Amino acid sequence: MSPRQPRILICGSALAGNLVWAHEEARQFFDGLADLVVMDSPNRADFLVGLKSGGKYDQIVGIYRHNTSADRIGVFDEEIIDALAETGTVKWIAHNGAGYDQIDVSRCANKGISVSNTPGAVDDATATTALYLVISCLRNYAWAEQSLRQGTFKSGLDPGRAHDVTGRTLGILGLGGIGLRLAHLVHAFPMRVVYYSRNKSANAPEWCEYIDSLEGLCRESDVLSLHVPLRDETVHLVGEKEIRVMKKGSIIVNTARGKVIDEEAMIRALEDGHLSSVGLDVYPNEPLVNPRLLEFPQNVLLPHMGTENQDSQRHMEVRALTNLRDFLRDGQGNDLIPELRSKL
Amino acid sequence: MLPCVLLCGEIEYVQDEFKEMFHGIAEVVHLVSESRSHFLSSFEPDGPYEGTVALYRRNTSSKVIGKFDAPLIHALADTSKVRWIAQNGSGYDEIDVQACKERGILVSNTPRANEDATATTTLYLMISCLRHFSMAERSLRSGTWKTPCDAAQTHDVTGRTLGILGLGGIGLRFAHLAHAFPMRIVYFSRRKAESVPDWCEYVSSVEELCKQADVLSLHVPLNQSTAGMIGEKEIRTLRRGSVLLNTSRGRIVDQEAMIRALEDGHLSSVGLDVYPDEPRVDPRLLTFPQCTLLPHIGGESAESWRTRELQALGNLKAFVLGGIGEDIVPELKTGIGNSAIL
């Protein structure tokens, strides 16, 4: 009998053994490196019991985590991080997703647990989603589709409210991987691209104009698209003040996290027409959607589809598993999150 | 006495510019007819359209006076001095250009004016179909969040093959936008286009185009040779799971064949802006939730409306002033030497 290998926990959705696409890759990556254990707890209590010495998740050294696991065991808050730390063996959480606001990363830092995410793998699919929202808001396509399906074809639609994409100004808040990819896609029309980031981006092409304040960005944008992660300092980053500085008739697109916008301020601005429409893929309290958003036929509302397609989902799983494998093999995964980089 | 120009369809966005353009150049008469017979009898002396030399035409006029088919063209030629029809729109399939050719009436359209807007609409339809976004929006608005959307059925845009039928202004513009991802671009046109970027790969037949494309997009005008050109054979040559986009004219596609292919899943979805018999939409199309259906708004933006109106009016004015305008439709270009001049 071979010596007992380290164990890694696959902590995803309840379907299909927790990985959706990358079963073959998982087998290949960890063959001879680690045993895979599937997290099958129906609730948090069962999960915490399983982590204890002698429990079903005993001797786990690394975890593959997907946000869908929160449906059963909740987010990786202080309680769970502490329980993981207490095992003495868990040292790496490989998160599947670019946004890791569901993990208490400062607690992880405190307890010596590393966290990786999957930047890059989400960029194309999320930027494509943002592009769709930008185009649809400017041209009122959502309204038009609703009108057709209600049997009124195009009567009732006002072409004067629909605008070309070409020549309008896209303001990008946060020029990371996704923001940069969106910039590239709209540059094909071209839209004029302006951006604001905490730091001026070294990678930005010369046609991406840096603006040195959020207020300045709002003033210049016909369409403002949000691409910042959710952290304490980005909650309600776009609020009443920022929205009112935008031109009348402007559009906000959000594929980042719902809480980055002050939803009440946004709805007020829709009600008085200051914002002509919003394109959203995320909401403060998913899957709940504020019903008032539905009252505006010109709003384009997607149910967090950002990376929902089989091609990107496969990339993301593989990326997260790669981080986990590299941790096991080399002691470190590539996509260690920024907050933890300075600690090493 | 000033010549008359007749508006068969109203000017909506450039009324001020319009007044200025024709001030002192022509009398403007509006369509007051409520039937075809009234229209046809109104060019005679003392009729409301007496003295009309040129028409501005919108497709909306067909609701009242019918399309500009051969009988109408012949009647116009017989009873009026009309020798120029300035169509607002790039599609002029509602005008019988052969009859116009026979009778020495020239027709202009407004190519280019809605290329960007229409290509943008095609891009929207493509993203929506590949990612099932239309279905997702409806699912959210009906209160079921993402259910029943299934990520397993959807795909990235990047890396897929886009097949373009007809690499004219709109097709090329759409190719450019798709190339940003990038998609692989293949195309078929009656003639291999000359100034085409090297990333547009020419294929020598519609059949070959269908074999290669993950997404097939139609950008040919509707005429006798293109009606029904995408039928059972072409659709079945596409790979199973392909996507069909149409922002051109509904009748280019055999709708029954298309619906059969949706029913058995051979086509995973279709993205349509046009239908054979607008504004009627075959109710069966609404039963395929993954499809994206727009009500012929492909070229409809505030900006393109202005551009189109100004372009058509410009052609009208040039004819009135100098006997010839621009944007003569391809079928009539060779007849220029014979055109009637004021």
Whether residue A3 has pLDDT greater than 60 = no
How confident is the model at residue A313, as a pLDDT?
85
> For residue range A13-64, what is the model confidence (pLDDT) as tens digits?
765 446 777 788 888 889 999 999 999 999 999 999 999 999 999 999 999 9
How confident is the model at residue A334, as a pLDDT?
94
* Predicted confidence band of residue B105 (pLDDT cuts 50, 70, 90): very high
Whether residue A80 has pLDDT greater than 50 = yes
How confident is the model at residue A242, as a pLDDT?
98
* Predicted confidence band of residue A141 (pLDDT cuts 50, 70, 90): very high
* Cβ contact B3:B53 at 8 Å: yes
Closest by Cβ to A160, choosing from B157, B176, B302: B302
How confident is the model at residue A261, as a pLDDT?
98
Q: Do domains A7-121+310-341 and A122-301 have the same CATH topology?
A: yes
How confident is the model at residue A331, as a pLDDT?
93
Q: How many angstroms separate the CA atoms of B247 and B115, rounded?
A: 11
Give the CA diameter of chain A.
75
Residues of B in contact with A128 (CB under 8 A): 127, 131, 156-158, 181
* Cβ contact A146:A163 at 8 Å: no
> For residue range B8-30, what is the model confidence (pLDDT) as tens digits?
999 999 999 999 999 999 999 99
Number of C-beta neighbours around residue B264 at 10 A: 8
| Nearest chain A residue (CA) to B287 | A149
How confident is the model at residue B143, as a pLDDT?
95
A286 interfacial to chain B (CB closer than 8 Å): yes
> For residue range A269-309, what is the model confidence (pLDDT) as tens digits?
999 999 999 999 999 999 999 999 999 999 999 999 988 77
* Predicted confidence band of residue A311 (pLDDT cuts 50, 70, 90): confident
Number of C-beta neighbours around residue B152 at 10 A: 12
| Average pLDDT rounded to a whole number, residues B82-96 | 95
Amino acid identity for residue A35 in this structure? D
Global ipTM: 0.89
* Cβ contact B272:B293 at 8 Å: yes
> For residue range B160-192, what is the model confidence (pLDDT) as tens digits?
999 999 999 999 999 999 999 999 999 999 877
Taking CB atoms and an 8 Å limit, are A141 and B121 in contact across chains? yes
Is B278 part of the annotated catalytic residue set? yes
How confident is the model at residue B150, as a pLDDT?
85
A6: tokens are 């380290």
Q: How many angstroms separate the CA atoms of B271 and B251, rounded?
A: 15
Residue count (chain B): 342
Is A286 part of the annotated catalytic residue set? yes
Instruction: Tell which wins on pLDDT, A341 or B48.
Output: B48
| Average pLDDT rounded to a whole number, residues A172-199 | 96
Please spell the DSSP secondary structure of B189-224, one letter per residue.
-SS--SS--TTEEE-SSHHHHHHH-SEEEE----ST
How confident is the model at residue B148, as a pLDDT?
86
* Predicted confidence band of residue A268 (pLDDT cuts 50, 70, 90): very high
> For residue range B221-279, what is the model confidence (pLDDT) as tens digits?
999 999 999 999 999 999 999 999 999 999 999 999 999 999 999 999 999 999 999 99
> For residue range B34-55, what is the model confidence (pLDDT) as tens digits?
999 999 999 999 999 999 999 9
How confident is the model at residue B337, as a pLDDT?
46
Parse chain A into domains and list their residue ranges: 7-121+310-341, 122-301
Q: In percent, how much of chain A has pLDDT > 90?
A: 83
Residues in CB range of B300: below 8 A, 6 or more apart? A154, A157, A159, A162, B114, B117
Lowest pLDDT segment from A142-151, A156-165, A188-197, A303-312: A303-312
Chosen for mutation from B114, B120, B121, B176 (greatest number of chain A CBs closer than 10 Å) is B120
How confident is the model at residue A1, as a pLDDT?
44
Whether residue B340 has pLDDT greater than 50 = no
B152 interfacial to chain A (CB closer than 8 Å): yes
Residues in CB range of A79: below 8 A, 6 or more apart? A44, A48
Q: How many angstroms separate the CA atoms of A283 and B136, rounded?
A: 15
> For residue range B117-139, what is the model confidence (pLDDT) as tens digits?
999 999 999 999 999 999 999 99
Whether residue B149 has pLDDT greater than 90 = no
| Nearest chain B residue (CA) to A134 | B124
Write the secondary structure of B108-172 as one string of H (helix), E (strand) and C (coil): ECCCCCCHHHHHHHHHHHHHHHHHCHHHHHHHHHCCCCCCCCCHHHCCCCCCCEEEEECCCHHHH
| Average pLDDT rounded to a whole number, residues A83-104 | 95
Taking CB atoms and an 8 Å limit, are A125 and B156 in contact across chains? yes
Closest by Cβ to B127, choosing from A132, A154, A160: A132
Instruction: Tell which wins on pLDDT, B111 or B328.
Output: B328
How confident is the model at residue B230, as a pLDDT?
98
A128 interfacial to chain B (CB closer than 8 Å): yes
Give B306's DSSP letter.
Answer: H
pTM over 0.90: no
Please spell the DSSP secondary structure of A190-243, one letter per residue.
TPEEEEE-SS--SS--TTEEE-SSHHHHHHH-SEEEE-----GGGTT-B-HHHH
Fold for A7-121+310-341, please state it: Rossmann fold (3.40.50)
Which 17-36 residues of chain A touch chain B by CB within 8 A?
A: 20
Whether residue A119 has pLDDT greater than 90 = no
Fold for A122-301, please state it: Rossmann fold (3.40.50)
How confident is the model at residue A15, as a pLDDT?
59
Cα(first)–Cα(last) distance of chain A, in Å? 37
How confident is the model at residue A16, as a pLDDT?
47
